[in-house]
């Protein structure tokens, strides 16, 4: 059984309000996507990192990816949704990945992923019958809003976790799950729809998804603190 990573990076990143797609925003002199790939490529057990780009992507070529060599392979098969991009990527690599091989699906926007977190995920799930994902228990009190930004209810946070990535499932199971459930916002959601229960592996908040412009400064601080 081998381990592969797949990074869907075919989004437009509209919430960032920037001209370039979010995955290409600069963080410590490199695109966000570069950092996400670097974290995965630094894990010796991961045989290869696949990146799913939009067929119309015009940004990739303007950066230098040579440091990753043959451990990185580009797939220009992105789809209309994240789930579609992952699903297309899984089909595109079917010739070089076995049905039982593990696929670690990771957001391009989670640039602060650490090798220790990936190791913890793989160590916990290597013998798991289903697979699972990095996640953190919810710390804040949660409010459900009515249509006018007033509190309609307080949601009990016991047992609630925030899903992160990587999410790790075997190639055949994940392909089948995403084909049956193309509307999901993460891979675990598709696995759950098959009636299976993915395992939650406790991570930490540094593996957050860069979503808003102010997130870039925080991400830079986290990376800087790690390199000193
Ligand atoms: O927009 P959001 O942060 O939820 O996107 C999560 C990940 O999915 C990003 O890495 C984004 O590039 C990717 N994505 C994709 N194809 C899409 C939409 C999003 O690969 N059609």
Interface predicted TM-score (ipTM) over 0.90: yes
Domain assignments of the chain as residue spans, ordered by start: 3-227
Which of 25, 81, 109, 212 gets mutated to test ligand 1 (max ligand atoms within 8 A of its CB)? 109
**What is the CATH architecture of 3-227?**
Alpha-Beta Complex (3.90)
| Contacts (Cβ under 8 Å, ≥6 apart) of 170 | 99, 100, 101, 102, 103, 131
Q: Which atom of ligand 1 is nearest to the CA of 86?
A: 20
User: Can you tell me the distance from the alpha carbon of 163 to that of 201, in angstroms, rounded to the nearest whole number?
Assistant: 10
Q: Which atom of ligand 1 is nearest to the CA of 14?
A: 1
Ligand 1 touching residue 134 (CB < 6 A): no
- For the stretch 177-228, pLDDT in tens is 999 998 999 999 999 999 999 999 999 999 999 998 899 999 999 999 998 7
User: Can you tell me the distance from the alpha carbon of 27 to that of 159, in angstroms, rounded to the nearest whole number?
Assistant: 34
Would you place residue 19 in the very low, low, confident or very high pLDDT band (cuts 50, 70, 90)?
confident
The two three-digit tokens of residue 30, written as one number: 């490199």
pLDDT score for 16: 55
Ligand 1 touching residue 173 (CB < 6 A): no
Ligand 1 touching residue 9 (CB < 6 A): yes
């Amino acid at each position: 059984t081998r381990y592969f990573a797949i990074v869907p990076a075919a989004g437009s990143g509209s919430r960032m309000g920037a001209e370039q797609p979010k995955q290409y925003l600069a963080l410590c002199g490199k695109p966000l996507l570069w950092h996400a790939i670097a974290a995965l490529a630094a894990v010796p057990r991961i045989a290869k990192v696949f990146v799913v780009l939009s067929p119309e992507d015009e940004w990739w070529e303007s950066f230098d990816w040579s440091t990753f060599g043959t451990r990185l392979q580009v797939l220009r098969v992105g789809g209309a949704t994240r789930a579609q991009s992952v699903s297309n990527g899984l089909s595109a690599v079917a010739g070089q990945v076995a049905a039982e091989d593990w696929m670690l699906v990771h957001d391009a926007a989670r640039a602060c992923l650490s090798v220790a977190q990936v190791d913890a995920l793989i160590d916990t799930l290597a013998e798991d019958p289903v697979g699972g994902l990095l996640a953190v228990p919810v710390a804040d009190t949660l409010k459900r809003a009515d249509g006018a930004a007033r509190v309609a209810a307080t949601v009990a946070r016991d047992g609630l976790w925030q899903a992160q990535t990587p999410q790790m499932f075997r190639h055949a199971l994940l392909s089948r799950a995403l084909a049956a459930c193309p509307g999901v916002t993460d891979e675990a959601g598709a696995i759950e729809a098959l009636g299976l229960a993915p395992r939650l592996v406790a991570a930490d908040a540094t593996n957050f998804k860069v979503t808003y412009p102010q997130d870039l400064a925080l991400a830079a601080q986290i990376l800087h603190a790690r390199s000193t």
